[in-house]
């Protein structure tokens, strides 16, 4: 069995962003040489997400509008911000959108359903953050 680990670095120019990381994950799989196995991708920060959905810009705006309605940004709105931070909303948005995905690798490729792609969701950006890619298989 092979195990292969890499970290992708993210640094979005906006506070909120959705970034398609499918190609980066595919190239890590190619480097690993794994043909049959599993690929875990997770955000390593508690204000960012990794999730699977459609690569469609309208849907991405819908996601951002939806999480903003559920957890609007606001310095005085969250008890977490009493610590001096301003990202209480980002922790909640991250929890809604998820921490990680696991995708099967079949014949050396991500074994997706129709239209599935892997996205990084940023809710407190403009700084460097990591995404873990862990591949196991043979």
Q: Which residues bind Zn ion (CB under 5 A)?
A: 85, 87
Q: Give the residues across from 2 on adjacent strands.
A: 137
Residue number with CB closer to Zn ion (106 or 126): 126
Q: Identify the CA nearest to 75 among candidates 83, 66, 87, 64.
A: 87
Cα torsion angle, 122, 84, 73, 77, sign: positive
Pair of tokens at residue 127: 């700084």
Residue number with CB closer to Zn ion (4 or 91): 91
**Least distance to Zn ion, CB of residue 90, Å:** 7
**Least distance to Zn ion, CB of residue 124, Å:** 7
**Least distance to Zn ion, CB of residue 94, Å:** 10
Q: Identify the CA nearest to 135 among candidates 104, 107, 111.
A: 104
Residue number with CB closer to Zn ion (24 or 85): 85
**Least distance to Zn ion, CB of residue 80, Å:** 6
Q: How many CB atoms lie within 10 A of CB 61?
A: 11
Residue number with CB closer to Zn ion (32 or 87): 87
């Amino acid at each position: 069995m092979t195990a292969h680990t890499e970290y992708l670095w993210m640094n979005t120019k906006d506070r909120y962003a959705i970034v398609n990381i499918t190609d980066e994950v595919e190239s890590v799989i190619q480097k690993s040489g794994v043909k049959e196995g599993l690929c875990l991708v997770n955000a390593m920060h508690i204000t960012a997400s990794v999730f699977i959905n459609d690569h469609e810009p309208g849907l991405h705006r819908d996601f951002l509008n939806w999480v903003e309605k559920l957890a609007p940004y606001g310095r005085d709105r969250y008890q977490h911000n009493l610590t001096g931070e301003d990202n209480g909303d980002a922790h909640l948005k991250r929890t809604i959108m998820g921490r990680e995905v696991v995708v099967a690798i079949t014949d050396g490729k991500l074994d997706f359903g129709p239209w599935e792609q892997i996205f990084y969701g940023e809710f407190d950006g403009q700084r460097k953050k990591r995404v873990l890619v862990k591949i196991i298989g043979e």
